């Protein structure tokens, strides 16, 4: 390390320390957020590994508890797709399942003790900064939401063709009967279409980020209290946060399904 590291001396330094990312530039704390990337990647691989293992060992006669849990999740996701997605796609089911489980796992990192992983990282690898909730990083949430935006465009083109999608950009939501009026309304329609397209990833990203960042900050503040107060306040907040973690994963998945359903429908 090129700078002197020390333990946080007061509450302000403690909060700042826990809200500092492990970055590629260790001096100025700028650049690529390595902790967000690696933790999100490990959790994604964990999701794939668990589901693959259960799929290979699935039993009809004697299903285990993990298999039953995964079947409940898969059935829940499948039900939401049947209710909300009105097109036909082989991608939407695995995509929705991946979104829900991956976002849930990233959100659930908030349940680990605030100082646990940073302490292990410091004493095992000499890493002095580590944020363990990837979805509390706006870069991660925007990366996922922008991916959804590209999927919206891709689904639209796949359903309507390039010509049909371009036509929709200039003729919806305001329709005109005459050619002259269609030309006049084309710039307005195009502007509204762009606003709608850009607003979707922004709302997706900021909703998830805002909720998880607030939850992370509250856990940090609780960790600064005496141990007795931590048990009194931390327990109820953790129980309530289970709902927040699950709900945010569900909302991100559902909005993605709805947006993709709208993409394949004609106005």
- pLDDT grade, residue 208 (50/70/90)? very high
First to last CA, the chain: 57
Q: What are phi and psi of 31, to 5 degrees?
A: 100, -155
Residue keyed to tokens 């990233």: 106
The whole-number pLDDT of residue 3 equals: 39
- pLDDT grade, residue 1 (50/70/90)? very low
- pLDDT grade, residue 128 (50/70/90)? confident
The whole-number pLDDT of residue 166 equals: 92
Mean pLDDT is lowest, of 80-84, 85-89, 138-142, for 85-89
Q: Which of 131, 207, 228, 261 is catalytic?
A: 207
28 is catalytic: no
Residue 141 CB contacts under 8 Å (≥ 6 apart), including other chains: 135, 204, 205, 206, 208, 209
207 is catalytic: yes
CA-wise closest residue to 65 among 57, 107, 103: 57
Calculate mean pLDDT across residues 104-116.
94
211 is catalytic: yes
Token pair of 200, please?
Answer: 């979707």
Q: How is the chain split into domains, by residue range?
A: 11-264
Is residue 120 a contact partner of residue 265, using CB atoms and an 8 Å limit? no
Q: Which of 96, 107, 189, 211 is catalytic?
A: 211
pLDDT tens column, 56-71: 998 888 889 999 999 9
pTM over 0.85: yes
């Amino acid at each position: 390390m090129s700078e002197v590291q020390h333990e946080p001396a007061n509450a302000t330094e403690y909060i700042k320390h826990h809200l500092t990312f492990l970055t590629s530039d260790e001096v100025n704390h700028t650049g690529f957020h390595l902790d967000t990337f690696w933790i999100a990647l490990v959790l994604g691989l964990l999701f794939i590994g668990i589901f693959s293992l259960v799929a290979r060992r699935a039993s009809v006669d004697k299903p285990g508890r993990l298999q039953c849990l995964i079947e409940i999740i898969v059935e829940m996701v499948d039900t939401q797709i049947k209710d909300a997605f009105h097109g036909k796609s082989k991608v939407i089911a695995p995509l929705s399942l991946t979104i829900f489980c991956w976002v849930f796992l990233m959100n659930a990192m908030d349940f680990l003790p605030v100082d646990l992983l940073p302490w292990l990282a410091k004493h095992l690898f000499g890493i002095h900064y580590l944020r363990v909730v990837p979805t509390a990083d706006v870069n991660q949430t925007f990366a996922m939401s922008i991916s959804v935006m590209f999927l919206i465009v891709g689904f639209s083109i796949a359903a309507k063709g390039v010509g049909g999608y371009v036509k929709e950009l200039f003729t919806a939501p305001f329709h005109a009967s005459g050619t002259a009026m269609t030309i006049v309304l084309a710039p307005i329609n195009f502007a509204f279409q762009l606003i709608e397209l850009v607003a979707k990833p922004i709302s997706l990203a900021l909703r998830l980020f805002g909720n998880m960042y607030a939850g992370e900050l509250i856990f940090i503040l609780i960790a600064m209290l005496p141990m007795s107060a931590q048990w009194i306040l931390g327990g109820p907040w953790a129980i309530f946060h289970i709902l927040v973690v699950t709900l945010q994963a569900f909302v991100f998945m559902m909005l993605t399904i709805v947006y993709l359903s709208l993409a394949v429908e004609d106005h």
